[in-house]
Amino acid sequence: MPPFAFSNWPPSLSEDQLQELTLIATSYALSHGLLYLPVAAKQPPAPSSAIHAPLSLFPSPFPRQLFEQAQKLQHIYNTLYARIAMDEDFLDEVMGAVDGVGAVDEFVGQLWKGWKQVRDEDAVPLQLGLFRSDYLLHSTSDPPSLKQVEFNTISSSFGTLSDRVAGLHRYILFANGYYDSSPHLKAENFPPNNTTAGLAQGLAAAHEAYNVPGSSVLFVVQPGERNVFDQRWLEYELLERHSIKVIRQTMSDLAQTASIDLNTKVLTIKTATLSTPVEISTIYFRACYTPTDFPDSAAYELRFLLERSRAIKCPSIPLQLAGGKKVQQVLCQPGILERFLTPADASTSSFSQEDISELRASWMYMWGMDLNGDEGVEKALTNHGKLVLKPQREGGGNNVYKASIPPFLRTLDASERQAWIAMELIEPPEGLGGYLVRAAGPEQQRREHEGEQADKVVRADVVSELGIFGWALFGLGKVNRDEEVGWLVRTKGKDSDEGGVATGFSVLDSLVLV
């Protein structure tokens, strides 16, 4: 077989084949829960319709060796971020509201202040991290190398839907062989993806460690969530495979239903549909990662109330802070990785220098905007065409790219610079294409109703981002258990800087290993 060329992907299809493939893919998605709620001014309490999630018709090519490297690195990352979350001094220095990012970023500062008050009251119990490490291929070398985009410690989404889109692509392979359009489209090149089971395994491990019969897992969710099915599949997996019940609540719900026993720190939920209060073993946050989740001081106080409970948090506030972009940048500094991965305590497991070097090799060059007075800003102004600026935010749509950087930097005063980092842009392979399918919007639906053919599939030059999932259960200075549990791929048009599916930039995808 000749060497793989990214510029030759995807294989060519006739118009009839493309239409048939779109029908097969969308039908499979609707039949197998690869779903979103449709856009609405306000989501109804009981949804009556759904649309398929945005998806790619072909899996995206990815070098087998680099995929396996990303899986291997996940175990190191699981331990690294667990240890960061347990290092109060480090987080105080980097993210704190005295000298760290929290001094100039109100959201980070509020979280840090609440955490400091809570930790002064009692020891931190076990914590759970459901993680996702995101990567792009960097094409400045031949073959390309693996480079990390970011590491996610809160609300790492699309695990269950990525499981299903991998199943979709495997189904097409078995159903029609993708019309024999490429020798690379073979079963042995489609890696298994069991992310749903893997993430549920992490939540189940936390629930079992809490060890109170009859307790439940609490999902803290955002109101009007369109990506609800990605969460529901985890709920179903927990009940059907582990006999663990889930309670879903928004922060506004919890303001009415949550209470904590001041002596035992037991968190209970009491709703109109529950005959008796239910004790909570584990709190899984699919909300509280953005300032809009905290409209007033009462919302922050509620978050700190949850943190005070003896329920295992996923994530805890320190683990959420550990996912800050400033932490990612500080880790690049000499000696910081060794602090966490080769600790002086002989009873704590260490990683080899080879492991540490491999981890460092997956990073792009980063620096803080507060570097040496004006030096950080001057470097960013000089090199802005090859940079992205990142704040301490999750959820997509927050970064500043290339030509937008100079005018943006002029709006920052010296104190605000500490909240931003600069990262050299990863350069993905040129010429890679894909067929991207989104559910018809209101205008397309109107045209279809009137008998016109609405375009649902778009051929575009694309960039594909790989995410590797993992989890760690840890606390009181020790990582009890960690696992690498699956992956996702998000593919976007090459002209789009951002990569979020929920924010409308990307489609869900899977892999063909080359």
14-50 confidence digits (pLDDT tens)? 999 999 999 999 999 999 999 999 988 788 788 889 9
C-alpha torsion 442→448→451→455, nearest 10 = 120
Strand partners, 513: 62
From the candidates 310, 313, 326, 390, which is the catalytic residue?
390
From the candidates 152, 182, 215, 316, which is the catalytic residue?
152
Does the annotation mark 113 as catalytic?
A: no
Beta-carbon contacts of 486 under 8 Å, excluding residues fewer than 6 positions away, are 159, 162, 163, 193, 194, 195, 196, 198, 199, 468, 469
Give the count of alpha carbons within 13 A of 133, CB side only.
26
What is the pLDDT, as a whole number, of residue 409? 93
Q: What is the pLDDT of residues 305-355, one digit of tens each?
A: 999 999 999 999 999 999 999 999 999 999 999 999 998 776 678 899 999
Nearest to 277 by CA among 254, 253, 302, 258: 258
Query: At which residue do the structure tokens 């951002």 appear?
Result: 498
Could you tell me the pLDDT band of residue 499, with boundaries at 50, 70 and 90?
Answer: low
From the candidates 133, 145, 157, 215, which is the catalytic residue?
157
- Enter the pTM of the model: 0.94
> Cα–Cα distance between 299 and 305 in angstroms, integer?
10
Q: How many CB atoms lie under 10 A from the CB of residue 68?
A: 12
- What DSSP state is assigned to residue 251? H
Number of continuous H segments (helices) and E segments (strands) in the chain: 16, 21
From the candidates 83, 150, 324, 470, which is the catalytic residue?
150
From the candidates 362, 368, 490, 510, which is the catalytic residue?
490
Q: What is the pLDDT of residues 172-189, one digit of tens each?
A: 999 999 999 999 999 999
Residue 270 is assigned to a ligand binding site: no
> Cα–Cα distance between 101 and 91 in angstroms, integer?
10
Q: Rounded to 5, what percent of the chain is helix, strand, coil?
A: 40, 20, 35
Q: How many CB atoms lie under 10 A from the CB of residue 356?
A: 18
Contact 384/405 with Cβ under 8 angstroms? yes
> Cα–Cα distance between 94 and 421 in angstroms, integer?
13
Does the annotation mark 395 as catalytic?
A: yes
Q: How many CB atoms lie under 10 A from the CB of residue 64?
A: 13
Give the count of alpha carbons within 13 A of 417, CB side only.
20
Residue 353 is assigned to a ligand binding site: no
Does the annotation mark 459 as catalytic?
A: no
Residue 507 is assigned to a ligand binding site: no
- What DSSP state is assigned to residue 267? E
Beta-carbon contacts of 426 under 8 Å, excluding residues fewer than 6 positions away, are 136, 137, 138, 147, 149, 364
Residue 399 is assigned to a ligand binding site: yes
> Cα–Cα distance between 445 and 138 in angstroms, integer?
39
Could you tell me the pLDDT band of residue 452, with boundaries at 50, 70 and 90?
Answer: very low
Tokens matching residue 434: 């894909």
Helices (H), 362-488: 375-382, 405-409, 442-449
What is the pLDDT, as a whole number, of residue 437? 95
Does the annotation mark 390 as catalytic?
A: yes
What is the pLDDT, as a whole number, of residue 353? 93
> Cα–Cα distance between 508 and 127 in angstroms, integer?
30
Give the count of alpha carbons within 13 A of 80, CB side only.
24
Q: What is the pLDDT of residues 397-427, one digit of tens each?
A: 789 999 999 999 999 888 888 899 999 999 9
Tokens matching residue 59: 């899996």
- What DSSP state is assigned to residue 30? H
Contact 317/118 with Cβ under 8 angstroms? yes
Q: What is the pLDDT of residues 292-314, one digit of tens each?
A: 999 999 999 999 999 999 999 99
Does the annotation mark 150 as catalytic?
A: yes
Does the annotation mark 157 as catalytic?
A: yes
SS3 for 13?
Answer: coil
Nearest to 508 by CA among 24, 236, 162, 140: 162
Three-state SS for 70-132 is: HHHHHHHHHHHHHHHHCCHHHHHHHHCCCCCHHHCCHHHHHHHHHHHHHHHHCCCCCEEEEEE
Percent of the chain with pLDDT over 70: 94
Does the annotation mark 188 as catalytic?
A: no
For residues 186-206, average pLDDT: 98
Does the annotation mark 456 as catalytic?
A: no
Residue 446 is assigned to a ligand binding site: no
Residue 502 is assigned to a ligand binding site: yes
> Cα–Cα distance between 467 and 204 in angstroms, integer?
22
What is the pLDDT, as a whole number, of residue 276? 94
From the candidates 132, 313, 326, 456, which is the catalytic residue?
132
pLDDT at position 366 over 50 = yes
Residue 478 is assigned to a ligand binding site: no
